[in-house]
Structure 1
Amino acid sequence: MLPALSEKELDRLEDLLITYGNDYSVLNLAELDGFFTALASSPNTVTPEQWLPTVAGGKVPKFKKPAHEEAYVALMLRYANQVAESLGEDLEHFEPLFEESEGENGPVIVLEEWCFGYMRGTQVAEWSELPPEQDRLLKAISLHGLEDNFELLDNMSLEEHQACVPLVVEAARGLYRYQNQQPH
Structure 2
Amino acid sequence: MSDESNSNESVEALYSRLDHYLSTLGSDRSIMGVSELDGFLTAVGCAPDSHIPNDWLWAIWGPEDEQPSWESKEQEEEFLGLVMIMYMESVNGLIQGDLHPVYLEHTAPDGKVNVMVEDWCVGFMRGAHLLGLNYSADKDFIDEVMASVRLFGTEKGWQKLEGMTDEESQFWRSALEESIMRLAQFHHPEIEIIPTGARIVH
> How big is each residue's C-alpha offset from its partner over 1:106-139, in whole Å with a ceiling of 9 and x where there is no partner?
2112121111111111111123325223420111
* Alignment match, 1:26: 31
Gaps of 5+ in 2: 1-6, 194-202
Aligned-partner SS, 1:98: strand
Aligned residues: 180
Identity of aligned residues (%): 25
Aligned mate of 2:54, from 29, 33, 49? 49
Distance in structure 2 (CA, Å) of the matches to 1:108 and 1:156: 18
> Greater Rg, structure 1 or structure 2?
2
Partner of 1:154: 162
Q: Distance in 2 between matches of 1:32 and 1:6?
A: 14
Structure 2: how far apart are the matches of 1:86 and 1:42? 14
Gaps of 5+ in 1: none
State the AA in 1 paired with 2:78. A
CA distance in 2, matches of 1:130, 1:29: 32
Question: Is 2:171 the counterpart of 1:166?
Answer: no
SS in 2 for 1:6: helix
2:68 maps to a residue whose letter is: P
In the TM superposition, what are the counterparts of 1:102-117 in structure 2 within 5 Å? Answer: 102-103=107-108, 104=110, 106-117=112-123
Deviation per residue, 1:40-85 (Å, 9 max, x gap): 0111222211211110122331112322211111111111111101
Shift of 1:147: 1.5
Counterpart contact for 1:45–1:125, Cα < 8 Å? no
Q: Which runs of 4+ in 1 moved over 6 A?
A: none
Please report the TM-score for the alignment, with normalisation by the length of structure 1.
Answer: 0.87
- Paired residues of 2:136 and 2:142 also in contact (CA < 8 A): no
Give CA deviations for 1:15-54 in whole Å, capped at 9, x if unaligned.
1111111011101111111111111011122221121111
- Code of the aligned partner of 2:62: G
The answer to whether structure 1 residue 88 and structure 2 residue 125 are counterparts is no
Partners of 1:121 and 1:130 lie apart in 2 by 19
Greater shift in the superposed pair: 121-130 or 170-179: 121-130
> Whole-Å Cα distance in 1 between the matches of residues 101 and 71 of structure 2?
32
Q: What pairs with 1:99-138 in structure 2 (closer than 5 Å)? A: 99-103=104-108, 104=110, 106-127=112-133, 128-129=135-136, 131=138, 132-138=140-146
Q: Confirm or deny: 8 A CA contact 2:106 2:116 kept in the other structure.
A: yes
Q: Within the alignment, does 1:7 sit opposite 2:12 as a pair?
A: yes
TM-score (norm 2): 0.80
Conserved in 2, the CA contact under 8 Å of 1:42 and 1:179?
yes
